Amino acid sequence: MATTTGCPIPSNINPLSPNGFKLSINKLPGVSYFAQEVNLPELSLGDIEMGTPLSRAKIPGEMMTFGDLNFQFIIDENMTNYTAIYNWMTGLGFPNTHQEYTDYIEEQTKSTNPLRNIYDTSEIAKGYSDGTLEILASNNVPVKSVIFTDLFPVSLSSLTFQSTVSDIVYLIGNATFKYTTFKLL
């Protein structure tokens, strides 16, 4: 690191571009290609007030809080990527019968399912999936990987179909995921 009078110059002065990323979720292989926008969720650490005779002092807390993972994706014309998230959510939420959850787990654990080798049965039974957000440098080489553990979908946006539009605007889906933790590597 070079230094000028009072101001160190970093070895890399290239700013991070917002369009350099690749999102992959193990359980949703069709989403990566169509991902348009993703957020690196917020991270917060609580604090604890410690009483003193004169004032309340703040000290770092013990609990980390992770924000939601939100991403936008173009919906393919067969709705494969949208349907994959829909099926995952209905499998976890079994809106009509408890059998829907059982059917979902059985489908995920079939030996013909290409995802069978990615997960052990206990992970599938929980309905989780891991995912990675690769952050790319200006030359499209990954500089950081954000590993999300135990992802599961909690929200899938509505879709609006219109016959009155003059220009074709492709449908965009929004999905929100909760997870246990993320790590920067």
Q: From first to last of its 185 residues, what are the pLDDT tens digits of the chain? A: 555 567 888 888 888 888 899 999 998 988 889 999 999 999 999 888 888 888 888 888 888 999 999 999 999 999 999 999 998 998 888 777 777 777 777 777 664 444 444 445 555 556 889 999 999 998 889 999 999 999 999 999 999 998 888 888 899 999 999 999 999 99
Nearest partner of 146 among 126, 132, 163, judged by Cα? 132
Supply the DSSP symbol for 113. Answer: S
What's residue 4's pLDDT? 59
pTM of the full structure? 0.80
CA distances from 127 to 37, 40, 51, 142, 163 (A): 24, 22, 43, 29, 37
How far apart (Å, rounded) are the C-alpha atoms in residues 30 and 103? Answer: 22
pLDDT value, residue 173: 96
Domain residue spans of the chain: 25-45+65-184
pLDDT of residue 3: 54
Q: Quote the CA–CA distance of 36 and 82 in Å, as a whole number.
A: 14
Q: Which amino acid appears at position 103 of this protein?
A: D
Whose CA is closest to 75, among 66, 65, 83, 67?
Answer: 83
Identity (one letter) of the amino acid at 176? T
The pLDDT value recorded for residue 184 is 95
Maximum alpha-carbon separation in the chain: 70
Q: Which fold has domain 25-45+65-184?
A: Pnp Oxidase; Chain A (2.30.110)
